[in-house]
Amino acid sequence: MNYRIGKCFTFDAAHCLPSLPADHKCSRLHGHTYTVEIVLSAASLTPPGFVTDFGELRPLRQYLDTTMDHQHLNKVLDIEPTSENLARHIADWFRANVEPTIPARLETVRVHETPTSWAEYQAPKP
């Protein structure tokens, strides 16, 4: 049996999707209050009974704050900033920069553009 935990982070940013037709509303510059939800798992708990200490996820909070918060995402990322691409980008960053330092494994990253719409990336199993 696996234990799972989740943590949500938010940031505000603008983007546009220039590959869409000019008359599509998302081709124009607009903004969102994004919510990034991560799910981590572990086969066993570390003392005092954690999958991982939520405080160990602080580097992700710092990355989102310094790289994406109040930014024009098209200018700070090398990808077209769809929710799907953001979820993959954040997962890749997390797996390279945070996962090696914690006892848990990243399962999924979900990016919400609005309270009712989201995209999810499932990290590959090792």
Instruction: Let me know if 112 is a catalytic residue.
Output: no
Q: Which residue has the tokens 């953001």?
A: 86
Report pLDDT digits (tens) over 88-107.
999 999 999 999 999 999 99
Enter the pTM of the model: 0.95
Beta bridge partners of 3: 42
Residue 31 has a pLDDT of 96
In sequence order, what are the residues at sequence separation of 6 or more whose Cβ sits closer than 8 angstroms to the Cβ of residue 83? 111, 112, 113, 117, 118, 119
Q: What percent of the chain lies above the pLDDT cut of 70?
A: 99
Is residue 8 annotated as a catalytic residue, yes or no? Answer: no
Please tell me the CATH superfamily of domain 3-122, with its number: 6-pyruvoyl tetrahydropterin synthase/QueD (3.30.479.10)
Q: Which residue has the tokens 């949500």?
A: 8
Q: What is the pLDDT of residue 17?
A: 96
Whole-number CA gyration radius for the chain? 16
26 is catalytic: yes
CB 35 within 8 A of CB 12: no
- Determine which helix (DSSP H) or strand (DSSP E) holds 76, and give its type and residue range: helix 73-76
Catalytic residue of the set 15, 32, 112, 113: 113
